[in-house]
Amino acid sequence: MKTQVAQESDDAIFTLTLQNDATDRFFWLQDKRSGTVYFEAEGQYVGGDAIVKECTVMRDGLHLGLSSGAIVSFYFCSLSLREYLGVVSALKKLYAARPVVLEVFDA
């Protein structure tokens, strides 16, 4: 299995999707006009606007602290260094307005 990474952008939105299989999928959508970031963890039944309070990214995966107090994790499978740096770059775009949310190790 290999982690699939997808980014899309247009004038209004920016999205990032990380997926290992059909039930292990993290998805972000940012409205560029308002800056609001929607997050969804498919398979963990979590989703909503501005619910990510902290995001820690490491070479093996990421851990998100949510406004509910829950922590959700996503582990990368066979992600190259170039792909990892692309994920880090995308997360920096998503949380540019709130850089305190994002902590990156190994970049």
The domain of 53 spans 4-104
pLDDT in tens, 22-31: 889 999 999 9
pLDDT in tens, 49-70: 999 999 999 999 999 999 999 9
pLDDT confidence of 92, banded at 50, 70, 90?
Answer: very high
Stated length of the chain: 107
Q: How many domains does the chain have?
A: 1
Q: Which two tokens stand for residue 105?
A: 């190790």
Q: Which residue has the tokens 């880090």?
A: 88
pTM (two decimals): 0.93
Q: What CATH number is associated with residue 14?
A: 2.30.29
pLDDT in tens, 70-89: 999 999 999 999 999 999 99
Average pLDDT over residues 14-21: 96
Q: What is the pLDDT of residue 45?
A: 87
